[in-house]
């Protein structure tokens, strides 16, 4: 029959209005003879239009009607669809949301009758109902059919809104429980002898254990076995293992009806490497001795579901005390947070923004935060010991452990994300947590969640909003109640008790929780704008402090800085508005003593942390220009040097802050990948700063004593690490002083003036001050401490030609002009080049002398009681070993290899490698050890505030050094092992290359 054009156009429009995307195909399907009984139904289009995908629902309906085995069955289905609106809505709802369930109904057309069950909105099936629903299954194939039939009823109530997402997840967990029981019964029926030998309990873990399962997910389990009566335990465990393996295969294997879901037993002790089934006593021994923090976290959701339920209950009861004391373990919170970070880092880069479960702001963030709070406070409060995330969140809010507003927002976000996850998985019944990219998929999902106007736009907007809420709250959830514990709350709000606040602070790593609470009260109490902003900042800052080795110091230092700057308008605005400024500040304040001490002497330097380029080192020319300008504005030499030292203090803070942030990293800027780059940056920055400070001091002394012109030309030569641009934070400035009388000036007058300049420079730089001192060391001069502090060029030349020893030529390898008369400095370099790069290299006697000096130094200069394997300077494979090896190559080959004529150790080593004087592998070993030893020295100074050449003995300080070097909490042993290994390899290279061993 031909449909009139006007009527066809009207039908086409109606179909579009009801949400069909292919009206032509829908019109053909509606004209199918099988649907003739429905065409007169005035609400059919409305019912189809209510489906998530009307086209998919109509196609599935036609396939279902066509698949009925006879006319009687077809009439029964059609009559029911016309007369029973609830069933019609459920059937079309499933057909429009799940292609996989539509396929099931096409294969098993009688299974639509499962939707007639549970028509009452108040009736929800539990385990026993699902056990009855699976009762007819006699083999794995029929079990899959029965499972899908039960799944069909869950999905129907879910998509129609009869159940909410939490109820649907609980029903899915109950269906999984019934399925495990059915599968185990089949396994026991196939092997009655095994079943008679053992007791086997199946413990559900993960989402199944927590009564919050997805449509498609691995079902995590742990098996516990015991011998029956006096049976042999070994044989009983073998029998139990066979039963457990058979049960897993029944559920996991693919048949003509597809699969149910994989049963995953990898959460058991030792994971895949451990036995599948253990006795209860074996489980207990493992958790008491070997289990990691995450394993106790996993046990939060442990629940007996199948097999010997009495044994399962005994398992849970026995292990519960261990679970609820897990928060007392060392590094508990860092371990949990590290595990969460590792999960995010393992997501493929192209999927991070689409990852609904594991990505930032995803489901796992909510679950981890809730579980962390449960473990911290569950020991003393049994009300929060729920395996369900939403139930636990509600209990945490009721107990004051989470703010009610935060809990409501997180509950709403979690429900939305779980609903989204359900809709994504329901379509093809495949395990996935990725947001689809196809518009058709997004449209179907959006409509299934009630978004009908612009489903794709609305879905993306809601998804982004909820993930943003989770990202903002998942750590705040842990810290915000700490502020509520010390602040006035609105009427009706539940406060975190003082004892619970202390528990939480201890779990975070605070050693003095009472002091921490006092600091929080001082910072967050009151109605001032300052207190309001700090209440906003502190939850995030507390998290960053907890990520350090010394949270107590971080919080105390923040209070000190805030007390000093809290009334300054720009300070809190900077932390609130300037991106990483607050995180940078938190890292700096909790990383040790040096940087906070520098900052607290001049708190306004906080501004450097908010400037995008504030932590970039300034070059030597700009530093010297600023120092000289400050000196020029000062009245008198002392004031001038104070100004120069003030610039030095600020720039030292800039350098330490950049070093700490580069080592720790921030959310926006990960930790520096190249430790050598960090070392070079610090060495250059501190060396340039020292040179600029000395230049400013020289200018101040000359101006004070002689006005514009000194009667001598005067130059400062950097030596040692200073000349090599390798100064660390605690290094003295090794120097030589050179002078030349100006024309018409007597030698005696010139020498007297030069000596006065040196004495005055050293005095001014060591005056007591709030600024760190700069010690000038001239002991590398000719004749050492017995020789004059300053000499002329001719005097240096005469000495080096006649008296100098080989070690003095070695010391000159790092001589470089740093301040004063540049021309005189260049003349000095020209003078010493023949001595430090001798023509034809060193003779055999000189090489033997250098080796003898090195051996003597190793024997005599190592501090008494120091561990030679951990001493960064003089120890095995440390700085001295590497530098003497490199310097021997410079002395021997520098006359012919221009690349070796540098004062920098790493640069000279690279040049030696390029010249094939040392194999590439050996050069890399020496470089790695030198960089590591230098970083250890820098770390010790940053952490302790005073120089040191070996690892601290104090546990907290040692942990801080480890954190700076990139080791997570609890891994200082790994740090020391790695240091010994790296330096041991360097020593082996040194002995071959330096001693010729």
Q: Mean pLDDT, consecutive 10-residue segments, the chain of 997 residues?
A: 51 79 84 71 82 94 92 89 86 95 95 74 78 94 95 94 94 97 97 95 97 95 94 94 97 87 95 96 96 93 97 97 88 76 80 88 91 90 94 93 90 96 96 92 94 93 93 79 68 72 86 92 83 83 85 93 83 80 91 92 88 84 95 93 93 94 71 84 96 96 90 96 94 94 92 95 88 88 92 95 91 97 97 94 93 92 91 96 97 96 97 96 97 96 93 92 88 94 97 89
Q: How far apart are CA 148 and CA 115, in angstroms?
A: 12
Following CA atoms 504, 505, 511, 517 in sequence, which dihedral angle do they give, to the nearest 10 degrees? Answer: -130
User: What are the angstrom distances between the C-alpha of 543 and each of 332, 337, 478?
Assistant: 14, 10, 9
Tell me the three state secondary structure of residue 73: helix
Residue 400 CB contacts under 8 Å (≥ 6 apart), including other chains: 481, 484, 493, 494, 495, 496, 497, 500
Q: What is the pLDDT of residue 493?
A: 58
What's the confidence (pLDDT) of residue 121? Answer: 42
Residue 120: phi and psi, rounded to 5, are: -70, 135
Counting Cα atoms < 13 Å in the Cβ hemisphere of 486 gives 23
Classified as helix, coil or strand, 817 is strand
Helical packing angle, 54-66 and 71-83, nearest 10°: 140
Distance, CA of 650 to CA of 881 (rounded, Å): 34
Res 2: pLDDT: 45
Helical segments of 487-568, H only: 498-507, 513-524, 529-546, 551-565
pLDDT for position 117: 63
pLDDT of residue 490: 53
Is the separation of the CB atoms in 406 and 473 below 8 Å? Answer: yes
The predicted model scores a pTM of 0.78
DSSP 8-state code for residue 228: -
Residues 913 and 923 sit within 8 Å (Cβ to Cβ): yes
* Rounded distance between C-alpha atoms, residue 215 and residue 380, angstroms: 35
- The secondary structure element, H or E, covering residue 691 is helix 675-706
Report whether 396 contacts 370 (CB < 8 A).
yes
Q: Which residue has the tokens 């299954």?
A: 137
DSSP assignments along 602-656, one per residue = SGGGGGGGTSTTTTSPPPHHHHHHHHHHHHHHSSSHHHHHHHHHHHHHHHHHHHH
C-alpha 38/C-alpha 57 separation (Å) is 14
Per-residue confidence (pLDDT) for residue 596, from 0 to 100: 93
Question: In 226-259, which positions are buried (b, 16+ CB within 10 angstroms) versus exposed (e)?
Answer: bbeeeeeeeebbbbbbbbbbbbbebbbeeeebee
The pair phi, psi for residue 306, each rounded to 5°, is -150, 165
Please count the other Cβ atoms lying within 10 Å of the Cβ belonging to residue 954: 11
Distance CA 374, CA 325 (A): 11
Q: How much is the pLDDT for 104?
A: 95
Q: What is the 3-state secondary structure (H, E, C) of 396-456?
A: HHHCCCCCHHHHHHHHHHHHHHHHHHHHHHHHHCCCCCECCCCHHHHHHHHHHCCCCCCHH
List the structure tokens of 571: 């300070």
pLDDT (0 to 100) of residue 43 = 79
pLDDT at residue number 674: 86
CA 819 to chain centre: 44
Question: Can you give the pLDDT at residue 34?
Answer: 72
């Amino acid at each position: 029959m031909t449909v009139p054009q006007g009527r066809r156009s009207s039908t086409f429009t109606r179909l579009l209005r009801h949400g069909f995307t292919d009206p032509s195909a829908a019109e053909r399907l509606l004209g199918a003879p099988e649907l003739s009984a429905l065409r007169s139904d005035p609400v059919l289009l409305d019912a189809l239009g209510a489906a998530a995908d009307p086209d998919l629902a109509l196609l599935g309906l036609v396939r279902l009607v066509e698949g009925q085995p006879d006319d009687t069955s077809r009439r029964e289905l059609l009559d029911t669809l016309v007369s029973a609106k609830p069933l019609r809505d459920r059937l079309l709802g499933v057909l429009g949301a799940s292609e996989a369930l539509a396929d099931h109904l096409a294969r098993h057309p009688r299974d639509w009758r499962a939707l007639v069950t549970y028509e009452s909105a108040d009736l929800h099936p539990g385990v026993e109902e699902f056990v009855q629903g699976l009762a007819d299954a006699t083999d794995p194939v029929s079990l899959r059919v029965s499972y899908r039939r039960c799944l069909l009823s869950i999905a129907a109530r879910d998509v129609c809104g009869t159940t909410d997402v939490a109820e649907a997840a609980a029903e899915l967990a109950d269906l999984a429980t019934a399925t495990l029981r059915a599968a185990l019964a089949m396994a026991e029926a196939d092997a009655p002898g095994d079943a008679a030998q053992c007791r086997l309990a199946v413990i559900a873990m993960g989402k199944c254990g927590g009564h919050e399962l997805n449509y498609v997910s691995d079902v995590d389990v742990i098996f516990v076995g015991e011998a029956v009566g006096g049976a042999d335990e070994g044989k009983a465990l073998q029998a139990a293992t066979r039963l457990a393996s058979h049960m897993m295969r029944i559920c996991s294997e693919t048949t003509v009806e597809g699969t149910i879901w994989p049963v995953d037993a990898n959460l058991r002790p030792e994971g895949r490497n451990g036995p599948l089934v253990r006795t209860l006593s074996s489980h207990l021994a493992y958790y008491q001795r070997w289990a990691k923090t995450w394993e106790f976290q996993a046990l939060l959701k442990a629940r007996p579901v199948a097999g010997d339920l009495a044994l399962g209950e005994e398992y849970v009861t026995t292990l519960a005390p261990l679970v609820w004391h897990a928060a007392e373990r060392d590094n508990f919170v860092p371990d949990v947070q590290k595990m969460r970070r590792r999960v995010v880092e393992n997501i493929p880069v192209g999927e991070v923004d689409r990852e609904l479960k594991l990505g930032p702001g995803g489901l796992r963030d909510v679950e981890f935060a809730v579980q962390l709070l449960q473990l911290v406070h569950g020991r003393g409060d049994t009300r929060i010991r729920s395996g369900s995330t939403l139930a636990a969140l509600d209990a945490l809010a009721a107990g004051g452990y989470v703010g009610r507003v935060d809990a409501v927002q997180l509950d709403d976000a979690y429900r939305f994300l779980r609903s989204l996850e359900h809709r994504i998985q329901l379509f093809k019944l495949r395990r996935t947590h990725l947001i689809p990219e196809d518009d058709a998929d997004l449209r179907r999902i959006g409509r299934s969640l009630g978004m009908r106007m612009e489903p794709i736009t609305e879905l993306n907007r809601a998804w982004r909003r909820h993930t943003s809420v989770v990202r903002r709250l998942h750590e705040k959830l842990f810290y915000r109640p700490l502020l509520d514990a010390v602040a006035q709350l609105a009427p009706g709000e539940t406060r975190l008790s003082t004892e619970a606040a202390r528990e939480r602070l201890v779990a975070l790593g605070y050693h003095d929780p009472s002091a921490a609470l006092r600091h929080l009260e001082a910072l967050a109490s009151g109605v001032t704008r300052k207190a309001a902003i700090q209440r906003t900042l502190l939850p995030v800052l507390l998290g960053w402090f907890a990520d350090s080795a010394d949270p107590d110091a971080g919080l105390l230092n923040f209070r000190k800085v805030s007390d000093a700057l809290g009334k300054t308008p720009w300070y809190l605005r900077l932390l609130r508005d300037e991106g990483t400024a607050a995180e940078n500040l938190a890292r700096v304040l909790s990383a040790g003593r040096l940087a906070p001490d520098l900052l607290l002497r001049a708190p306004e330097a906080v501004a450097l942390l908010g400037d995008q380029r504030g932590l970039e080192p300034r070059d030597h020319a700009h530093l010297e220009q600023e120092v000289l300008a400050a000196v020029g504005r000062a009245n008198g030499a002392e004031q001038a040097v104070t100004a120069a030292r003030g610039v030095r203090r600020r720039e030292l803070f800039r350098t330490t802050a950049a070093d700490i942030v580069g080592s720790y990293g921030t959310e926006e800027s990960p930790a520096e990948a190249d430790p050598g780059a960090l070392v070079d940056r610090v060495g250059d920055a501190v060396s340039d700063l020292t040179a600029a400070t000395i230049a400013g001091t020289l200018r101040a002394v000359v101006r004070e004593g002689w006005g514009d012109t000194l009667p001598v030309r005067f130059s400062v030569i950097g030596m040692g690490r200073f000349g090599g641009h390798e100064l660390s934070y605690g290094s003295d400035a090794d120097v030589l002083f050179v002078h030349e009388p100006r024309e018409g000036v007597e030698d005696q007058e010139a020498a007297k003036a030069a000596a006065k300049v040196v004495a005055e420079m050293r005095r001014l730089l060591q005056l007591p001050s709030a600024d760190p001192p700069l010690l000038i060391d001239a002991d590398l001069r000719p004749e050492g401490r017995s020789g004059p502090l300053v000499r002329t060029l001719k005097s240096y030349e005469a000495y080096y030609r006649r008296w100098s020893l080989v070690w003095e030529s070695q010391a000159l390898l790092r001589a470089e002009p740093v301040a004063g008369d540049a021309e005189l400095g260049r003349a000095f370099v020209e003078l010493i080049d023949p001595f430090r790069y001798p023509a034809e290299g060193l003779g055999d006697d000189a090489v033997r002398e250098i080796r003898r000096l090195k051996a003597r130094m190793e024997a005599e200069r190592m501090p008494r009681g120091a561990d030679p394997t951990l001493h960064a300077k003089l120890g095995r494979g440390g700085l001295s070993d590497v530098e003497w090896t490199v310097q021997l190559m410079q002395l021997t080959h520098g006359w012919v290899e221009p690349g070796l004529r540098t004062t920098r150790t790493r640069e000279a080593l690279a040049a030696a490698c390029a010249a094939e004087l040392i194999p590439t592998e050996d050069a890399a070993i020496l470089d790695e050890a030198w960089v590591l030893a230098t970083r250890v020295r820098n770390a010790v100074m940053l952490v302790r505030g005073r120089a040191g050449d070996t690892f601290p003995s104090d546990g907290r300080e040692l942990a801080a050094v480890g954190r700076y070097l990139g080791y997570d909490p609890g891994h200082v042993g790994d740090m020391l092992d790695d240091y010994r290994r790296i330096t041991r390899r360097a020593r082996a290279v040194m002995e071959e290359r330096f001693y010729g061993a």
